[in-house]
Each structure stands twice: as C-alpha cells, then as structure tokens.
Chains A and B, each alone.
Chain A
Amino acid sequence: DAGVIQSPRHEVTEMGQEVTLRCKPISGHNSLFWYRQTMMRGLELLIYFNNNVPIDDSGMPEDRFSAKMPNASFSTLKIQPSEPRDSAVYFCASSLRGLVGYTFGSGTRLTVV
C-alpha cells in the first residue's frame, strides 16, 4: 500500500496565481480530510468528505479556497487567487469510517511570494 499520496511536495507560486493541490487517498478509505499546518495556528481541519460528499467545510478560511472529490480516489484543494498568508503545509488524510486511525500524506509545502 502506497499510503496517501499528495502532489506536488513543494509549490512556489506568485501572489494572485491559482494553486491546485492533489490527493490520492488509500484505496477503500471512504473519508478524506484536508488540513493546513502553520507555526502560528498549528494543524487546522479545513474540510472533510464522506463517500465523496463534502460534510463540513467550516474550516475553509475564505471563498478563495475550494475542494472537490470527483471520485473515491482523487481530491483537489484549490486556492484562487493565492496570497502570501496561504503559505503553509497542506496535509491530506484518509480513513475508513468506523475505524480508528487517520492516515496522513507527506504534505504539500506551499509558498506564495
């Protein structure tokens, strides 16, 4: 099992550009989560999906952020337009509903200049 796969590992972009982060959950997992980690705020839950349906997006900071899960094996987190304060490490995690642990990906380090 390759685990949760995120791409890219690093992204540097200019302010105002669109950024798309990608996540492939573990096969068979039916819940998917997007987290953001910064030094100031720690790990924050942005949004999560059950069976490809967004359940709670209350953690999404602004309308500039959007997330989709078109099928069970793929999700995207898009920021448009990006701003320097969006610089952070973005983690995707998946789990099988009813089981205990979440499996996290290695994260995407986003730098907006």
Chain B
Amino acid sequence: DAKTTQPNSMESNEEEPVHLPCNHSTISGTDYIHWYRQLPSQGPEYVIHGLTSNVNNRMASLAIAEDRKSSTLILHRATLRDAAVYYCILRDQTGANNLFFGTGTRLTVIP
C-alpha cells in the first residue's frame, strides 16, 4: 500500500481554521484519499474522501494537489470537539478492504 506522511502533532486556536497536511508521493492513479479522525476514547470516524477534485462536506474540506502527491484537510472553524487524531489513508479505487492506519496527526485545540 502507498504510504502517507503526516506531522505528529499540530495546535490550533479555537474558532480558527486548521489545515492538516498529508504527503503521499507514491500515490497511484486508482488510490482515493481518505481521512478519518479518532476522538479520545472512541473509535475512528470517517471524515471525508476524494480522488482528484477538492471536496466539501459538513465536517470538513479536502484540498488535493494537482499532482495528487499531497492533500490538506481543512477544518474551517476549529472547536474543542475537533481535538482528535486525524488519519490520512490511501485506499484503492476498487474498494479493497485494506484500510491501514498510520500514526496520524494529533490536533490540540486551544481555548
């Protein structure tokens, strides 16, 4: 599986935007970019995914570089409830069941 690289940790002030980066230089043409997050003492939850175009949903936005070798998860207005570990994962377009989690980025939101 193609690997992803994320910073170990980031901080953000409450109510400010947060940009969480992810590098995936070995991404293949059939890999989707997925983001999950894990709140304290909970299981991971799906956030967003994309292939080439930028994507928006009620939770976040996903900006994908033109060469697809990097992407950024954008939380438009961080709240204390957004403090979590955020995982960037590549998943083959066929939807093969091989969702492998890396170490993720631990986001701390400062009141």
Q: Please indicate whether A and B come from the same complex rather than being unrelated chains.
A: yes
Give the A interface residue count (CB, 8 A). Answer: 24
Q: Please determine whether B102 and A100 come into contact, CB atoms closer than 8 angstroms.
A: no
Within 8 A of A (CB), among B51-98: 95, 97-98
A35, A55, A98, A103: the one contacting B46 at CB < 8 Å is A103
| Cα(A76)–Cα(B98), bound, Å | 20
Stretch at the interface among A14-22, A40-48, A64-72, A79-87: A40-48
Give the B interface residue count (CB, 8 A). Answer: 19
| Cα(A47)–Cα(B8), bound, Å | 27
Shortest distance from the beta carbon of B105 to any chain A beta carbon, whole Å: 13
- The interface residues of chain B, by DSSP majority, are classed as loop
Within 8 A of A (CB), among B33-51: 34, 36, 41-46, 49
Shortest distance from the beta carbon of B73 to any chain A beta carbon, whole Å: 15
Residues of A contacting B95 in the complex (Cβ-Cβ under 8 angstroms)? 97-98
Chain B residues within CB distance 8 Å of chain A:
32, 34, 36, 41-46, 49, 95, 97-104
